[in-house]
């Protein structure tokens, strides 16, 4: 049995659409397979979790997005256990939605809307919250989120009233977090296993994801200084694994006074939830995502499935929208060179540059289906 378990192709295909396209490409090869689309904490993960737990949809109106615009946010509440809910950062301060509205720059974006959403969930009795951390347009270390939840930030003795962004965070001189009373439990599903700040040169951190959120190269030092200032004022370590997910929201949210706040790897959570690792007759896995590069091995679906395949001794085929030059860095190889014995085959479905996506969903599905036909040929040679 082959498992078709892609992540979303961000900005183009949902995980389910990608799985359907792959299945279509394999249909003439007589390969037994099952579709199990996955998420890692990014766009669409909350819906997958809710479907597995049979939750009901809940719409929270008038929450601000990363740039202060009011939006309606969809989350999910338990049917029987009504204190349980699941929500995702991407539906509040999501990068895809922000880009669709125009040019973005995370130096001027705030996670305040996430704090507003949490306040509303808690006020409505939902004290067991699962929050998917991924796909955000923000890089403020969760400072904006905590501000909305009751933390106070001061510049020159004056409280900052506007939503905190990295541009302001570097100027903050004092913070007061005595007003934070999150109560309840928070489980954070992280799409990357990186800290807020790296301890040594070359270590990936939240800052590495800021470029794709519009931060200019000349502003990167200012972003680092802002996050260093935030960590110093908060008195918390910025080096904890996974706390850098969603622009550092994990770092900030752990300071909010929860009874319990846990960071967990979103992709591994979903793999356990769906039972992929427990399939006894597993012959191999076909996965994929929009851009496969060094980041793919830092807690995302592709990297998490690779671990399953290594454990089971089966091959992994990855269908990529595009492939980064640094793709093998995270597997122990060198730039552009695959190390021996990875058990990974990567098929490029030719989107081109990571920022260039197909002109339509139909075209994207056609390309992924064609890549899946190539995967079918490879699988046939394995038999």
Q: Hey, which residues does 132 pair with through a beta bridge?
A: 88, 189
Quick: pLDDT tens for 290-323: 888 888 887 789 999 999 999 999 999 999 988 8
Q: Do 131 and 87 meet the contact criterion of CB atoms below 8 Å apart? A: yes
Q: Hey, which residues does 260 pair with through a beta bridge?
A: 185
**How many angstroms separate the CA atoms of 185 and 261, rounded?**
6
Q: What percentage of the chain has pLDDT greater than the value 70?
A: 95
Give the model's pLDDT for residue 218. Answer: 97
- pLDDT at residue 289 tops 80: yes
**How many angstroms separate the CA atoms of 317 and 103, rounded?**
34
CA-nearest of 320, 313, 294, 304 to 375 is 320
Q: Hey, which residues does 159 pair with through a beta bridge?
A: 154
Give the model's pLDDT for residue 346. Answer: 92
Q: Do 223 and 215 meet the contact criterion of CB atoms below 8 Å apart? A: yes
Q: CA 156 → CA 172, 225, 278, distances in Å?
A: 8, 18, 57
> Given pLDDT bands bounded at 50, 70 and 90, which one contains residue 373?
very high
Q: Do 105 and 222 meet the contact criterion of CB atoms below 8 Å apart? A: no
Q: What is the CA radius of gyration of the chain?
A: 21
- pLDDT at residue 351 tops 70: no
If one compares 326 and 186, the residue with the highest pLDDT of the two is 186
Give the model's pLDDT for residue 355. Answer: 52
Q: CA 225 → CA 173, 194, 222, 358, distances in Å?
A: 13, 18, 5, 37
Quick: pLDDT tens for 224-270: 999 999 999 999 999 999 999 999 999 999 999 999 999 999 999 99
**How many angstroms separate the CA atoms of 153 and 161, rounded?**
8
Of how many residues is the chain composed? 383
Q: What percentage of the chain has pLDDT greater than the value 90?
A: 77
Q: Do 176 and 228 meet the contact criterion of CB atoms below 8 Å apart? A: no
Ordered domains of the chain (ranges, CATH): 2-32+283-382 (3.40.50.10350), 65-266 (3.90.1510.10)
> Given pLDDT bands bounded at 50, 70 and 90, which one contains residue 207?
very high
- pLDDT at residue 359 tops 70: no
User: Tokens for 55?
Assistant: 């939750």
Give the model's pLDDT for residue 354. Answer: 47
Q: How far is CA 167 from the centre of its chain?
A: 23
Give the model's pLDDT for residue 11. Answer: 78
> What is the residue-averaged pLDDT of the chain?
92
User: Tokens for 143?
Assistant: 């400072």
Give the model's pLDDT for residue 357. Answer: 62
- pLDDT at residue 383 tops 80: no
């Amino acid at each position: 049995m082959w498992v078709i378990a892609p992540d979303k192709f961000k900005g183009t295909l949902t995980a389910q659409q990608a799985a359907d396209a792959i299945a279509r490409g394999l249909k003439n090869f007589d390969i037994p397979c099952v579709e199990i689309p996955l998420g890692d904490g990014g766009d669409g993960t909350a819906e997958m979790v809710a479907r597995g737990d049979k939750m009901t949809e809940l719409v929270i109106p008038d929450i601000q997005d990363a740039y202060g615009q009011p939006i309606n946010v969809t989350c999910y509440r338990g049917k029987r256990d009504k204190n349980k809910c699941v929500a995702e950062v991407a539906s509040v301060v999501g990068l895809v939605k922000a880009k669709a509205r125009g040019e973005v720059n995370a130096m001027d974006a705030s996670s305040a809307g996430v704090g507003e959403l949490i306040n509303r969930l808690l006020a409505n009795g939902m004290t067991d919250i699962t929050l998917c951390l991924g796909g955000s347009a923000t890089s403020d270390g969760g400072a904006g989120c905590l501000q909305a939840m009751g933390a106070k930030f001061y510049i020159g003795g004056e409280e900052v009233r506007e939503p905190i962004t990295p541009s302001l965070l570097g100027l903050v001189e004092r913070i007061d977090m005595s007003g934070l009373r999150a109560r309840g439990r928070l489980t954070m599903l992280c799409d990357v296993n990186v800290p807020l700040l790296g301890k040594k040169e070359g270590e990936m951190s939240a800052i590495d994801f800021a470029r794709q959120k519009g931060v200019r190269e000349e502003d990167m030092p200012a972003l680092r200084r802002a996050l260093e200032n935030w960590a110093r004022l908060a008195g918390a370590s910025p080096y904890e694994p996974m706390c850098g997910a969603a622009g550092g929201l994990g770092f900030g949210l752990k300071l909010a006074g929860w009874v319990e706040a846990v960071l967990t790897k979103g992709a591994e959570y979903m793999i356990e939830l769906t039972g992929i690792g427990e399939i006894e007759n597993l012959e191999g896995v076909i996965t994929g995502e929009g851009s496969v590069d060094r980041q793919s091995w830092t807690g995302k679906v592709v990297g998490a499935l690779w671990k399953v395949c290594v454990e089971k001794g089966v091959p992994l085929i990855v269908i990529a929208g595009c492939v980064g030059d640094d793709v093998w860095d995270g597997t122990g190889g060198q730039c552009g060179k695959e190390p021996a014995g990875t058990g990974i085959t990567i098929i490029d479905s030719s989107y081109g540059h990571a920022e260039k996506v197909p002109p339509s969903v139909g075209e994207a599905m056609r390309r992924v289906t064609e890549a899946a036909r190539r995967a079918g040929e490879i699988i046939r040679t394995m038999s």
